[in-house]
Amino acid sequence: MKKFNIDKAASEEMTLEDVTVFIDQNQDGFIFQKVIERAHHYSDLAEYYLEASYICEKIAILGQSRSFEVDWHSGYHPVAQFVFVPENNELTPVLYEFIIALSGNDDEVTDLWIDNIEVYKKEIETQKLQFPELADDYFANLINGAYGEYESNYEDPEEFQDEISKRNPEHLFGFWKCMLSGKLKQDFFVSAESWIIPPQSDLVEILNKYSSIENIILDDGNIFSLNGSHYVVNDNYVLAIDFPALAKAVQCISRVFNEERTLYEQHDWLYHLSNNYKVQISDFANFILFIFNGYKIVLWNQDKLTFNDISSLNRNAADIFNITSDLIGLKEHISCPWVQLNDESFEQLCYDVIYYDPIYDNRTIRKMGKSKSRDGGRDIEVHTHGRLGYKPQKFIFQCKLLKSGTSLTASKVLDISDIIEQYEADGYGIFTSGVIDATLYNKIDAIAKRKHIKAELSSKHELERILARLPIIKTRYFKLNQEQNG
């Protein structure tokens, strides 16, 4: 299928006759593309997303569109694109008008273009959009960066904040009404860290549609603070939470949605947060749900505490000793008889651990042949779930079965940087039946920092605790006596 890149057409000064010929020859459809320029300033990036949204929406109403995506891999700049089938004679003059405006060769057209974009900016929240993802990216860059740049132009920052408060008070707390709300007919508000779902909207339907989470299992938890940090705990996890993000969501609900105005009411959110709430942790802890006053706050990407973190917490929190002791392995029969496995069965076990971790989209998992085959340095490849504002991330895992009593050192894991670069990975992980040596931790930490990727390292300690929570997988691979199985 032919591609029509509006930016390329503008740079090549495509004529009206050329546009007419292209449309006539591609009446069955073509791929329309709009480049989204990269930028050093959030304000510029916000404007680029706004412009892309405006152009794509104006084209979409002149025919049928499908298969929208933002392509991040084909070039240096991301490209918004969709399949388009023309159904209106106005398409040719509209395309040519866009070409003239983007080329900047006609001052009158450019001035009109700027005015049209400004009108679109003011009306975007009331529009029924074909591609709301672009509008959401516009608001994300506007609120999380551009506002700070605009505010610096004011002598009195409160004047700028007052202007925002009159138009969109939720923006002051980092939230905007998700532009996908219209398609689902379920209102919800999003920020960089969390979502707010009003009482009248369906949590399950929204999560199913816009976070790739199909089966939602929630377990009750409790929130507590210790030494200035805040945690949520249940029988399976202790998670450190981003309390400022939670506080912003609660304040937004209290100040904006509930319109609490008195001095007492403005600070009453602290009371609600401490006394009038319910907290739940999703299966495998990929999000935490807070409920109060009927509103639901979905707090994403909170940190699961490591073994050392939990050990420290356990020493300082007698009230939760039983839970934290269980999580750090202070119970009987957590160890696994690794000698029962060979290289192939160990890789199969690692495959299952990844498969049942909801962070990863198990539809994308691929095991690269037999353990002794040529796998290019990678044993398992998988992508994380994508959700609103976050594209799926590609992870490469290596599986290392070791002899009892040995450690996995940096000298035993070579070419990590080359593997990451070769397969364009966003994350790298290791599973091993032994202990990970400090040299390997240091090596991978340095690579992750340099390449801006995520690292997931699981030694026998982490694997045994994971398998303690997954007894079905544990019994699938190990022959255990009755006492160990229990």
Residue pLDDT, tens place only, 399-438: 999 998 899 999 999 889 999 999 999 999 999 999 999 9
In terms of Cβ atoms closer than 10 Å to its own Cβ (0-12, 13-18, 19+), residue 232 is buried
Domain ranges of the chain: 3-167, 171-304, 338-485
Residue 88 in this model has a pLDDT that exceeds 70: yes
Torsion of CA 73, 76, 80, 84, to 10 degrees: -80
Distances (CA, A) of 361 to 207, 357, 395: 15, 8, 11
From 245, 240, 256, select the one nearest 313 (Cα to Cα).
240
Taking residues 233-257, what's their average pLDDT? 89
Give residue 272's pLDDT band: very low, low, confident or very high (50, 70, 90): low
Task: Supply the pLDDT for residue 264.
Answer: 46
Give the DSSP H/E element, type plus range, for residue 419: helix 416-422
What is the predicted pLDDT for the residue at 313? 80
Query: What is the pLDDT, as a whole number, of residue 430?
Result: 96
Beta bridge partners of 221: 279
What are the tokens at 420? Answer: 């990451």
SS3 label, residue 216? coil
Taking only the tens place, the pLDDT of each residue in 150-202 is 998 898 988 999 999 999 999 999 999 999 898 888 899 999 999 999 999 99
CATH annotation of 338-485: 3.40.1350.10
| CA separation, residue 69 to residues 56, 128, 409 (Å) | 12, 18, 42
Burial-class residue 102 by CB neighbours within 10 Å (0-12, 13-18, 19+).
buried
Give the global pTM: 0.70
Distance CA 428, CA 444 (A): 9
Q: Which two tokens stand for residue 320?
A: 């939760």
For the stretch 100-124, pLDDT in tens is 999 988 899 989 999 999 999 999 9
Which structure tokens are listed for 245?
Answer: 């993000």
pLDDT value at position 404? 86
Which residue, chain included where needed, has tokens 């004047």? 159
pLDDT in tens, 27-64: 999 999 999 998 889 999 999 999 999 999 999 999 99
pLDDT value at residue 325 = 55
pLDDT tens digits, 326-366? 665 556 577 899 999 999 999 999 999 999 888 899 899 99
What's residue 87's pLDDT? 93
Give the three-class secondary structure for 388: coil
* Chain mean pLDDT for the chain: 87
The percent of residues above 70 in pLDDT, for the chain, comes to: 90
Does residue 240 have a pLDDT over 70?
yes
* 3-state DSSP assignment of residue 189: strand
- With 60 as the cut, is the pLDDT of residue 319 above it? no
> How many other CB atoms sit within 10 Å of the CB of residue 262?
8
Helices assigned H by DSSP within 304-369: 307-316, 321-327, 343-355
